[in-house]
Amino acid sequence: MSGEAPAPGPAEPTRRSGRIDTTRAHPARVYDLFLGGKDNYPADRAAAQAALDVDPRAYLTVRHNRDFLRRAVVHATAERGIRQFLDVGTGLPTQENVHQIAQRIAPESRVVYVDNDPVVLAHARALLATGPEGRTDYIEQDLREPAAILAEAARTIDFDRPVALVLAAVLHLVEGEQAHAVTAELVDALPSGSLVVLSHLTDDLNQERMANVTEEFKQRGFAIVRRTREEIGRFVTANGLELAEPGIVPVHHWRPDHAIDSAKAEAPEPDYLDGLEDIDKIKYLDIRDVTDADIGIYGLVAHKP
């Protein structure tokens, strides 16, 4: 997985998807709903609303996870000099995708996105939009197939140079030891100087509220595993990684910059908001009023020596 880097320019997305199943909720689409996205179906809206019914502030975990990702990518690019990103479980295109953040700082950055949702594939062109100096690619592949991911990513990424592996809110969809096995295989392919950006739902924070939310999702077929801080730490220690400060923390505590997000800046008039369903109001709500009682996910960045 080394050799001469390919010429700049977007690559064709892999196309393996069959029919999009609109009758069952999908994690990527529900996640996108909490971010204010529109690419969803009634089953996805029902799942998101069920989560809000048991925890009206559940959206803060999702939106602060996304904000953690923004800050982590800025750290990787601006402070660590990383110019290659492998984002596994990327989800639907939204504002401030990894390539937009990284290429704004370093236009030559290369980003490979990986997901297994056919809806994401349908919007892959938005993920492939890049400047003339950088390069993006999209792979339709499952996290449980790390060898296939690495083989296809090598079209764009030079694995002899540092890479930031992004595993944001995806490992809790993989049960048991398989989550550690696939992480180990991906990390093993990274050269020295690489980073791992990881976030994971936990059993430590706001246990009752998070249990209620994840139970609603499990009833809809999402195999969600909430791991403790110690169990999440094993993804670091077992792979010989070194934690960056401040370590494994609730995502809103990972190097916060308290930036206002664009959705709040563009909020419509109150009368318009009052007429929206709860799920549609989320994108306009200010996430800066967060408390520790609102968050149920840890974030970390770790360095490969």
Q: For 49-97, what is each residue's pLDDT tens digit?
A: 999 999 999 999 999 999 999 999 999 999 999 999 999 998 887 778 9
Q: Is the confidence at residue 115, as pLDDT, over 50?
A: yes
Q: Is the confidence at residue 15, as pLDDT, over 60?
A: no
Burial of 121 per CB tally in 10 Å (0-12, 13-18, 19+): buried
Q: Is the confidence at residue 7, as pLDDT, over 80?
A: no
Q: Which of 195, 168, 164, 190 is nearest to 299 (CA)?
A: 168
Residue 5 pLDDT class (50, 70, 90 cuts): very low
Q: Which amino acid is at 12?
A: E
Average pLDDT of the residues of the chain? 87
Q: Is the confidence at residue 37, as pLDDT, over 90?
A: no
Sign of CA dihedral 224, 227, 231, 236: positive
Q: Is the confidence at residue 245, as pLDDT, over 80?
A: yes
Q: What is the pLDDT of residue 31?
A: 87
Residue 146 pLDDT class (50, 70, 90 cuts): very high
**Mean pLDDT score, 15-34:** 76
| Angstrom distances, CA of residue 148 to CA of 1, 14, 139, 155, 183 | 12, 12, 10, 12, 13
Q: Is the confidence at residue 105, as pLDDT, over 60?
A: yes
- Cβ(127)–Cβ(93) under 8 Å? yes
Q: What is the pLDDT of residue 123?
A: 75
Q: What is the pLDDT of residue 19?
A: 62
Q: What is the pLDDT of residue 265?
A: 56
Sign of CA dihedral 36, 41, 46, 51: negative
Q: List the structure tokens of 107.
A: 């236009």
Residue 12 pLDDT class (50, 70, 90 cuts): low
Q: What is the pLDDT of residue 11?
A: 54
Q: What is the pLDDT of residue 1?
A: 39
Question: At 218, which helix (H) or strand (E)?
Answer: helix 207-218
- Cβ(6)–Cβ(135) under 8 Å? yes
Q: Is the confidence at residue 149, as pLDDT, over 60?
A: yes
**Mean pLDDT score, 19-45:** 84
Q: What is the pLDDT of residue 18?
A: 53
**Residues 165-217: tens digit of each pLDDT:** 999 999 998 989 999 999 999 999 999 999 999 999 998 998 888 888 888 88
